[in-house]
């Protein structure tokens, strides 16, 4: 049986993210062994609060970034330009439709 990696176990213990059972099963040792070593070496789970605070900050920042990026802040110039392009494309389609309708009408008159 391989010796447990006590540095990794201590790091996981101090981080406080995983339970003792999870740490023990991950490293193939008993929970009691971790408790004994933690008591003997005076490990504390002091990083858990700081890690949770940092995670909360990261989530908040990500939400703010997503909101800011998806928020449509259109300036007046951009709005005018976009609207003008839409109107111009509609007018060009209308002109094409009118031309095709006129051609069909002329063909039908020629058949009469």
**Shared-domain flag, residues 62 and 105:** no
**Shared-domain flag, residues 85 and 66:** no
Residue 1 domain-assigned?
A: no
Tens-binned pLDDT, residue by residue, of the chain (112 aa): 578 899 999 888 888 878 899 999 999 999 999 999 999 998 887 777 777 778 888 888 877 776 666 655 656 777 778 788 888 888 898 899 999 999 999 999 998 8
**Shared-domain flag, residues 57 and 92:** no
**Shared-domain flag, residues 56 and 78:** no
Q: Are 41 and 32 in contact (CB under 8 A)?
A: no
Per the structure, the count of domains in the chain is 2
**Shared-domain flag, residues 89 and 36:** no
Q: Are 13 and 43 in contact (CB under 8 A)?
A: yes
Which positions ≥6 away from 20 have C-beta within 8 Å?
Answer: 13, 31, 34, 35
Task: Please tell me the distance from the alpha carbon of residue 107 to that of residue 112, in angstroms, as a whole number.
Answer: 9
* pTM (2 d.p.): 0.46
**Shared-domain flag, residues 92 and 66:** no
| DSSP structural state of residue 28 | T
Which three-class secondary structure state does DSSP give residue 32?
A: helix
Instruction: Quote the domain boundaries for residue 94.
Output: 73-112
């Amino acid at each position: 049986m391989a010796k447990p990696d006590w540095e990794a176990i201590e790091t996981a213990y101090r981080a406080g993210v995983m339970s003792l059972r999870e740490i023990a099963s991950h490293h193939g040792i008993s929970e009691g062994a971790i408790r004994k070593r933690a008591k003997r070496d005076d490990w504390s789970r002091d990083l858990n609060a700081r890690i949770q605070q940092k995670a909360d900050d990261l989530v908040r920042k990500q939400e703010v970034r997503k909101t800011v990026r998806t928020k449509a802040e259109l300036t007046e110039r951009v709005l005018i330009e976009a609207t003008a392009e839409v109107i111009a494309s509609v007018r060009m389609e209308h002109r094409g439709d009118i031309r095709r309708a006129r051609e069909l009408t002329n063909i039908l008159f020629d058949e009469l």
